[in-house]
Structure 1
């Protein structure tokens, strides 16, 4: 059974066309961390340390109590397709671009930053957008 992946390589996910904010913001802290808050924490605390698959699985594990180092659980999780970071609230709602480096590791880039403008204009990267919140 082939494993699915959410990883991109040398790709920049720009914020969604209907993202409601002009400046990137940290998702609010809640008693039970939201997917947005977990994605933010995992990526922002260690930029370029994790791949998209790492972030998606660790978010699942933290929300469900699965041990992070459970290789069988990870394999079972990725035996079905999983939504990639294009569907993350970070790019849809909170104004963060997501840069995947040449090894597929991810970092957050605030939409109002010079780095965002440079990455958005970089012809060496593949470009895609975060998914829209609403249909056009």
Structure 2
């Protein structure tokens, strides 16, 4: 089974992001960015990457609770894009901090919190994928 989880890692917005600051994604269209933001903002260290990506997948595909166990096995049977591809980082200026147990917190780009975290030797810093090809 494949995993997208990280531990003791920060994923920062890419250098070519168009965001000047962390902003809330537009609401109403149920985009990946909107769904991820709803689950993570104000819910620090409650979700792992695998849990988040699978839950968003289920909502977008209309997979109800009774069918989720089989759907999860099928979803992770092949590799899935990790949060380095998330529009929250690439477009909306959010970083992801993964703690020692793989749980995620959103951190706004340009914040003192992000500067402190990226300076820690115990944390691996990775950039999100470039916003443009």
TM-score after normalising by structure 1: 0.93
Matched, 1:61 2:65: no
Unaligned runs of 5+ in 2: none
1:127 is displaced (CA, Å) by 1.2
Q: 1:102 aligns with which of 100, 103, 107?
A: 100
1:45 is displaced (CA, Å) by 3.8
SS in structure 2 at match of 1:99: strand
CA contact (8 A) 1:10 1:102 kept: yes
Matched, 1:52 2:45: no
Q: 2:71 aligns with which of 67, 70, 73?
A: 73
1:112 is displaced (CA, Å) by 2.2
The CA distance in 2 between the partners of 1:123 and 1:129, in whole Å, is 16
RMSD: 1.1
Instruction: Indicate the residue corresponding to 1:19 in structure 2.
Output: 17
The CA distance in 2 between the partners of 1:62 and 1:97, in whole Å, is 23
SS in structure 2 at match of 1:98: strand
SS in structure 2 at match of 1:12: strand
1:13 is displaced (CA, Å) by 0.4
SS in structure 2 at match of 1:18: coil
1:68 is displaced (CA, Å) by 4.5
